[in-house]
Amino acid sequence: MIKTRKIIPGIVVSILALLPVVNWAAEELNIDFTYERNVNIGSINSVLSLPAFGDERGMSDANLITDDYRVQEPLADIVRDAFAQGFAKGGVELVDSGEDMQVVGTVTESGMEIVDRGGVQSIQMTIRAHIQLQSGGRTVWENTLFGRGTVPESEGVVAAVNASLERLVRELFNDDYFIIEL
């Protein structure tokens, strides 16, 4: 009888210790984003690079997009790749060295919420990125871009992330001042 009283509380404590781990485990997502829209940059004379993006979201894991969802690589890498696809669609060949200008980016926020869109439960994903166009060691253009993608809940979180990335890239290439500086 004494042994049972000592064992049962130990088991209960062990089970309770595991509950937060189970409840906080993020769902794994595979983001395979492809930028489909046409980009009209015109002809640019600059040689352009797109270095690795920073991440200032303050998340414990760079692969988390929210506390509940984790992607296969750091979100900053996925965002950078989305912008690289936009430049490729515009006919811009990016270089690793010898550039005249570089596009420097930092992911500053990512978040998701469920919203009602005309009676349809929808997933709204938001990604913010601070982008700078630098030339000769100085910033010639900068802006914080806001990519919000909203899709019906039935389409899932991956579709919401893709919609957010698409909007983020579109925001950059629709910015006339950015295009002028190129």
Query: Where are the domains positioned within the chain?
Result: 2-181
Q: Quick one: pLDDT at residue 21? A: 40
Q: Quick one: pLDDT at residue 19? A: 43
- Indicate the SS3 state at residue 76: helix
What residue type is assigned to position 181 of the chain?
E
Is the overall model pTM greater than 0.85, yes or no?
A: no
What residue type is assigned to position 21 of the chain?
V
- Does domain 2-181 fall under CATH 3.40.50.10610? My reply is yes
Cite the DSSP H helix spans in 73-117. 75-89
Within 10 A of 152 (CB to CB), how many other CB atoms are there? 13
Residue ranges of the chain whose pLDDT lies below 50: 16, 18-23
Q: Quick one: pLDDT at residue 22? A: 36
Query: Which of 53, 146, 173 has the alpha carbon at shortest distance from 106?
Result: 53
Query: Which of 31, 132, 152, 47 has the alpha carbon at shortest distance from 82?
Result: 31
CA distances (Å), origin 159, targets 29, 116, 134, 156, 163: 11, 17, 32, 6, 6
Q: Quick one: pLDDT at residue 39? A: 83
Q: Quick one: pLDDT at residue 6? A: 59
Tokens of 85: 């696809």
Tokens of 94: 């990016």
Work out the angle between the directed axes of helices 157-173 and 75-89 (0-180°, nearest 10).
50
Q: Quick one: pLDDT at residue 51? A: 96
Beta strands in the chain (DSSP E): 27-29, 48-49, 54-55, 64-66, 69-71, 101-117, 120-135, 138-152
Q: Quick one: pLDDT at residue 15? A: 53
Rounded (to 5) percent helix, strand, coil in the chain: 35, 35, 30
